[in-house]
Amino acid sequence: MLEAKLAEASVLKKLLDAIKELVTDANFECSEEGITLQAMDNSHVALVAVKLVQNGFKKYRCDRPMPLGVNVGSLTKVLKCAKDDDVCTLRAADEADVLNLVYEAKNSDRISSYDLKLMDIDAETLGIPKTSYEARIVLSSAEFTRIVRDLSLLGDSVRIEVSKEGVRFASDGEAANGNVLLKGQGPIGKVERGPQGDDSDEEDGDAVKKEKKDDGEEGDEEEEEVDKEEEGEKEKDKKKKDKAKVKKEKVNDGDVEMDEEEYQPDEDGEEEKDEDEDEDEDEDGESKKRKKKSNSSPRSAKKAKTASSSKSKKGKSKANDGEEDEDEAVIIQMNSHVSLTFSLKYLVNFSKSSNLVKRVELYMSNDVPLLVSYDFGQGYIRYYLAPKIGDD
């Protein structure tokens, strides 16, 4: 039995909107690790690989591996009946011929249920070979979308060239030519191994775990020393705080209480003189003086508040600017010069996944399919596109 609950239906809706023009019928392979999909377009030029990991679901249960053959267009129509923030639950029994989808509204008691007929699809899962890429580009997914859409207005294909100058997207059309050059921020680095298939990912994860474990064993003594130093510093801080408390209590025991911000020696001195000289003033005059005194302190407090609030706003704006800069930054890694030509029609379809994540990664190597990878919180969607050779 399969039961998979997503916190928001928008994730599944965006995934299917991105692949519905490339794939007509496909198998969703369900296992203990999550749900995967792998399919090629009709012309066998592009391959799409989708994975929703088990941890990305609010609740996930899969008793045994099972394929769910669906028509992507029909599933897209059923998902349009759900709101983006609805809780979406997928249910299917063992050897079932129906996939049940339940949408639960968060802000109301509305619960919708739909049944989608499953199909028997004979499709082999292709093994994606391990590839060492010569170039890697990381850029804003919105910028990638804008570039391929703009160049698709000029021609049918685009040449992507990675050099020490940067990454250049060039399109030659019948009426006009155009190119876009993106310069990376910082020096161009070397490419590490790009994302591979599931098996290689697991090997990488095990290696990382082993390295962390070894580092932890070697650094046990250092951690104990650091803990002792931290405990000593905490004790010192406590002693300082206790001394400060004692001093404050002594000050409070006195007859005079003063605030540092409101205390002004000149004004207080003048007020004492005025009280000695003007003892015969009437009560109205004294009340006016008291009003002036009381009005002076809140004004200073208001000024302090406005100053602090303005500082906090400036701090927030700087933090937001930093996040925007990170999203817009272009990172280029290159081992050797790479120049390949691809169909813009497919790249425009790939760019529809930009609403899933703010960053996109491109991996390139001469005479090797282009890898366009969108990694988001619940999993990933990756596209592989064969380059054009000659006039093909």
Task: Give the CATH number for residue 116.
Answer: 3.10.150.10
Residue 246 is predicted with a pLDDT of 44
Rounded to two decimals, the pTM is 0.67
316-351 pLDDT, tens per residue?
444 455 555 566 789 999 999 999 999 999 999 999
Q: Residue 15 falls within a domain, yes or no?
A: yes
44-59 pLDDT, tens per residue?
899 999 999 988 899 9
Closest CA to 9 of 111, 118, 94: 111
Q: Residue 6 falls within a domain, yes or no?
A: yes
26-40 pLDDT, tens per residue?
899 999 999 999 999
Q: Residue 192 falls within a domain, yes or no?
A: no
Total count of domains within the chain: 1
**C-alpha gyration radius of the chain:** 33
Q: Residue 100 falls within a domain, yes or no?
A: yes
Is residue 80 within 8 Å of 101, Cβ to Cβ? no
Interior/surface letters 106-137, b for 16+ CB within 10 angstroms, e for the rest: eeeeeeeebebebeeeeeeeeebeebebbbbb
The mean per-residue pLDDT over the stretch 358-376 comes to 93
Q: Kindly provide the residue ranges of all beta strands, DSSP E only, lying in the chain, ordered along the sequence.
A: 2-6, 25-31, 34-40, 46-53, 59-62, 66-71, 87-92, 98-104, 111-117, 135-140, 157-163, 166-172, 177-182, 331-334, 338-343, 359-364, 370-376, 379-385
Enumerate the β-bridge partners of residue 122.
Answer: none
91-118 pLDDT, tens per residue?
998 888 899 999 999 888 899 999 999 9
Q: Residue 43 falls within a domain, yes or no?
A: yes
Range of the domain at 54: 2-128
Burial class (CB in 10 A: 0-12, 13-18, 19+), 360: buried
Q: Residue 326 falls within a domain, yes or no?
A: no
